[in-house]
Homo-oligomer: A and B are copies of this chain.
Amino acid sequence: MAQRERGSRTRRLILEAAAEAFDEFGYDGASTTDILARCGLTRGGLYHHFPSKEAIAAAVVEAQSEALVVVPHPVNLQAAIHLTVTYTQRLQNDPVLRAGVRLTVEHSSFGSRDAAAYEAATGAMLGLLEQAGSQGELLPGVDIEEAAQFLVGTFTGIQLVSQVYNNRKDLLPRVSTMWRFVLPGLAQPGLLPRLDTDADEIAARNGVPN
């Protein structure tokens, strides 16, 4: 295995161990000793990748943007729907992404002004809505900046409520519901019947994300 690839695997190992430790003890309660115990590295091996617990947490938080995978589609609103479905599948399957969301929400809840995770998501959505607008997919008068902010806020809340109720097990149907309520205020009426909002079916076609 090339050294770079091994380094990247070790990094991922650390992030997964940290995600577990943050999950069990919370950010404040988790120590680098807990993280070391889970990934089996020496302290030197850990510090080679991350100088501190703060740096590990920052990397976990940044991993959220990597989960924003935009796959082009002839209908940009359909690409936006797919983006939320893929993100949901990753939330359900990737402990590092879940920990990143948790740290973001937890820091938010203590008044942190770190909006980077929301800005990355808003940027991805904005790009799709701009293209949707230029292709005539949107209702006249839709402010795409407002719409992008709204969609990110909505998704954030829906995943939070789904987490509290059942650990995000029902997040796919909640995402379907979200789009069914939101699209009539966003999309050209003629486009509505052609948009697929069945998140469960889209997810099944996607398969399990890697």
Contacts and interface: CB of A to CB of B under 8 A. Distances in A.
Interface stretch (A11-19, A59-67, A68-76, A175-183): A175-183
Interface string A155-196: 111101111110100000010011011111110000000000
A161 B111 contact: no
A182 B158 CA distance: 14
A161 B156 contact: yes
Interface stretch (A31-39, A100-108, A199-207): A100-108
A150 B149 CA distance: 17
A147 interface: yes
A150 B164 contact: no
Contact of A158 (B102, B110, B113, B154): B154
Given A28-B26, A109-B109, A150 B177 contact: yes
A112 interface: yes
Contacts of A146: 177
The majority secondary structure among interface residues of chain A is: helix
Contacts of A184: 184-185
A81 to B, nearest CB: 14
Contacts of A167: 111
Interface string A131-163: 000000000000000110110111111101111
Contact of A108 (B26, B105, B174): B105
28 contacts: A23-B111, A26-B110, A102-B109, A105-B105, A105-B108, A106-B106, A106-B109, A108-B163, A108-B164, A112-B164, A113-B165, A115-B164, A115-B165, A118-B164, A147-B181, A150-B174, A150-B177, A154-B154, A154-B157, A154-B158, A155-B157, A156-B157, A156-B160, A156-B161, A157-B157, A181-B182, A182-B182, A183-B185
Given A108-B160, A118-B161, A183-B185, 17 more contacts: A23-B111, A28-B28, A102-B110, A105-B105, A106-B106, A106-B109, A111-B163, A111-B167, A112-B164, A115-B165, A152-B157, A153-B161, A157-B158, A160-B160, A180-B185, A181-B182, A184-B184
